Amino acid sequence: MSQLMIADRVPREELMTSGHVACPGCAAPIAMRMVLKALGPKTIVVMPASCWSIIAGPWPQSSLKVPLYHAAFETGAATASGVRAALDMQGDTETTVLVWAGDGGTFDIGLQALSGAAERNENILYCCYDNEAYMNTGIQRSSATPWGAATSTTPAVQPQSTHKKDILAILAAHRIPYAATATVAHPVDLLEKVTKARAIRGTRFLHILAPCPPGWKFEDDETIELARMAVRAGVFPLVEVEHGEHWRFTAEGAREPVGPYLRKQGRFRHLGEEQVRQIQAEVDRRWNAMRRRVESSESDEDGSLAEGG
């Protein structure tokens, strides 16, 4: 079949409602909607402070049809650990506890709690939808903001001067059973990863790239295109890693230059050709590092097969 006929592959059930207050073209609700479709109604969402705390609606509204527990910024993984323990005490092993956190609540403020939960291998699924800054409070930089990007705290005259934290490697270093990247532009890949994660016990981590029209400064209708370009340019490789060791690309398209991806976004408008080259060099470095991880996983697997055979 030559076309993506997605209609047959996406669960019909809608667990997110219209009328939420995300900006037009926001990727965050697209990500939530797809993840909940894969998890089903037996899900409890724990949500530290993020754009989604607002998207879920002001009291007494909720835009989710599953229980949603708003938690303090730094406590996503800790709160989820508690919810999990309570469910376990009730003998409920079926319900998935989903942490739904932004990049601020994951890369920065919630990292300690996340590291603790991962170290204990808490039985939770932690999803970070990453829009690469504190968008809800006015586009302040986070440690997920890429080098060179303009934000309200790193304006164009002095843009972000550090590289994006490699959160997947941090989580993989905890040797949790499953960690993966995904984007809103690759729904089948995303659904497959969530479905796979749902069936695993222990800490599972999903890093979802969620482009932000006002924060990245692109047109509302380009959200999906930006996520797709990020993958094609190798800025955001689609990978998964099991037990911190077995790395695998889940999509490895043609590597395209990073320039067109950057040029589509106002937050990179101030960059000159030289800086674009610097970003390309960093993307290449990270891509090659990822490739080495994947290749060494492959050769390990070959070796173990040889021993077994």
Judged by the rule CB under 8 A, the positions of this chain that interact with another protein are 1-7, 10, 14, 16-22, 24-30, 33-34, 56-57, 59-63, 65, 68, 184-185, 187, 213, 219-225, 228
The Cα-based distances of 103 to 36, 127, 167, 171, 269 in angstroms read 19, 10, 10, 14, 23
CB of 23 to another protein, least distance (A): 8
**Token digits for 65?**
């049809």
**Token digits for 149?**
């990007």
Q: Which one, 263 or 292, has the nearer CB to another protein?
A: 263
Query: To 10 degrees, the CA torsion angle through 82, 84, 87, 89?
Result: -70
The Cα-based distances of 9 to 37, 113, 189, 196 in angstroms read 11, 35, 11, 15
Q: Which one, 53 or 154, has the nearer CB to another protein?
A: 53
CB of 56 to another protein, least distance (A): 8
Q: Which one, 34 or 44, has the nearer CB to another protein?
A: 34
Q: Which residues contact 40 (CB under 8 A, 6 or more apart)?
A: 11, 13, 15
CB of 201 to another protein, least distance (A): 25
Length of the chain: 309
Residue 266 contacts residue 217 (beta carbons within 8 Å): yes
CB of 124 to another protein, least distance (A): 21
CB of 63 to another protein, least distance (A): 4
| Owner of token pair 């173990």 | 304
Determine the Cα–Cα distance for residues 224 and 184; give it in Å rounded to an integer: 6
Q: Which one, 59 or 161, has the nearer CB to another protein?
A: 59
Q: Which one, 228 or 286, has the nearer CB to another protein?
A: 228
CB of 130 to another protein, least distance (A): 16
Q: Which one, 84 or 186, has the nearer CB to another protein?
A: 186
Strand bridging mode 246-251 / 125-130 = unpaired
Beta bridge partners of 251: 238
Q: Which one, 232 or 286, has the nearer CB to another protein?
A: 232
- The edge-to-edge listing of strands for the beta sheet with 96-101 is 68-70, 43-47, 96-101, 125-130, 204-209, 178-183, 238-242, 246-251
> Rounded to the nearest 10 degrees, what angle do helices 76-89 and 111-119 cross at?
40
Q: Which one, 107 or 216, has the nearer CB to another protein?
A: 216
CB of 59 to another protein, least distance (A): 5
Strand bridging mode 238-242 / 246-251 = antiparallel
CB of 95 to another protein, least distance (A): 16
